[in-house]
Chain A
Amino acid sequence: MNEQRVLEEVISIVKPFVKNQEALSSIGPETSILKDLKVNSARLVDIVLELEDRFDIEVRDEDADNVRTIGDAVQLILASKS
């Protein structure tokens, strides 16, 4: 799975939890999940669990805590799959 495909999947996973719908129009690797999209910490747990299911990976809590942006999530997945 290439980086662009992973990016699209991550965005589709994050979308249902976004409170700031306006930020979706410019969503990309640099977008902060918590600050820009206003996803709260509980929803971030949901997102990590969904990433685990969708990509068949395991994400340690400490690694999940380092996911700040959409791009961080993409890189975490690519690293887990390599």
Chain B
Amino acid sequence: MASGRPLVGNDVVDLERALDPPPHPRFFERVCAPTERALLCQRAFDRRLAWTLFAAKEAAYKLVTKLRGSLAFVPAAFEVASDLRSIQHGGHTFELVVVERPAAVHAIVCTPSAHPLHALSWGDPNASSADVRRLVVAELGRRLRVEAARLAVVRDPDPRRWDGFAPPRLTVDELPVALDVSLSHDGRYVAFAAASEGGAKALRLR
């Protein structure tokens, strides 16, 4: 399953949207591994922690599908460490970064030592994938010192995927960029993560 290149997956959860309607009473029992259920019991069911676990699983799923192609999403098969710094799946361990906002959690999962760049923004109560793409080209354009208009996020057709498209990739002037990206939106929040050879420094951080 090893790829060698840095890979990322990310997922954002709008904590207010997640309660409307409330999740099924068995939701977290179903999606959590036994160790995660024990952790939730210890913390008297911390709602933020519960959604952090789910976001981490979703982010890791996005990463693993880049390595393996098609894969059934079985949330309980992804196991988050109790310190929330790593997540395991199928014998592989990935790094986990959790960003918290008052009403959101953003989970970023990456291959070891990928040092991903990530951003989280909010605005429109019904954020769309177009909003995430705008954030990506604006933020990465600034980091890469490339006009945003020259950047695009594209998805190639892939019939193996649930929506018929491969994971997103970044292009400059329609040419591929050696950078892995992951996009997410939920409720009013939009987020992305990116990783390249050499880590965030290679993105010419200002």
Residues of chain B contacted by A46 (CB below 8 angstroms) = 23-24, 27
Residue of B nearest to A61 (CB): B74
Asked if B54 is at the interface of the complex by the 8 Å CB criterion, the answer is: yes
Residues of chain A contacted by B24 (CB below 8 angstroms) = 45-46, 49-50
Residue of B nearest to A49 (CB): B24
Asked if B30 is at the interface of the complex by the 8 Å CB criterion, the answer is: yes
Residues of chain B contacted by A40 (CB below 8 angstroms) = 186
Asked if A80 is at the interface of the complex by the 8 Å CB criterion, the answer is: no
Inter-subunit contact A45/B163 (CB<8 Å): no
Residue of B nearest to A42 (CB): B54
- Shortest distance in angstroms between A2's beta carbon and chain B's nearest beta carbon? 26
Inter-subunit contact A42/B23 (CB<8 Å): yes
B residues 176-206 touching A (CB-CB < 8 Å) = 186
> SS class of chain A's interface: helix, strand, loop or mixed?
helix
Residues of chain B contacted by A50 (CB below 8 angstroms) = 24
- B74's partner among A17, A42, A62 (CB-CB below 8 A) is A62
Asked if A57 is at the interface of the complex by the 8 Å CB criterion, the answer is: no
Residue of B nearest to A17 (CB): B21
- Bits for B11-51, please: 1 = Cβ < 8 Å to A, else 0: 00100001001011011001100000000000000000000
Residue of B nearest to A20 (CB): B126
Residues of chain B contacted by A49 (CB below 8 angstroms) = 24, 26-27, 30
Cα(A75)–Cα(B66), bound, Å: 30
Residues of chain A contacted by B75 (CB below 8 angstroms) = 45, 61
- Shortest distance in angstroms between B2's beta carbon and chain A's nearest beta carbon? 24
Inter-subunit contact B23/A35 (CB<8 Å): no
Cα(A19)–Cα(B187), bound, Å: 10
Asked if A34 is at the interface of the complex by the 8 Å CB criterion, the answer is: yes
- B126's partner among A16, A19, A45, A66 (CB-CB below 8 A) is A19
- B73's partner among A16, A17, A65 (CB-CB below 8 A) is A65
15 intermolecular pairs with C-beta atoms under 8 Å apart: A16-B21, A17-B21, A19-B126, A41-B73, A42-B23, A45-B30, A46-B27, A49-B27, A61-B72, A61-B76, A61-B77, A65-B72, A65-B73, A65-B74, A66-B72
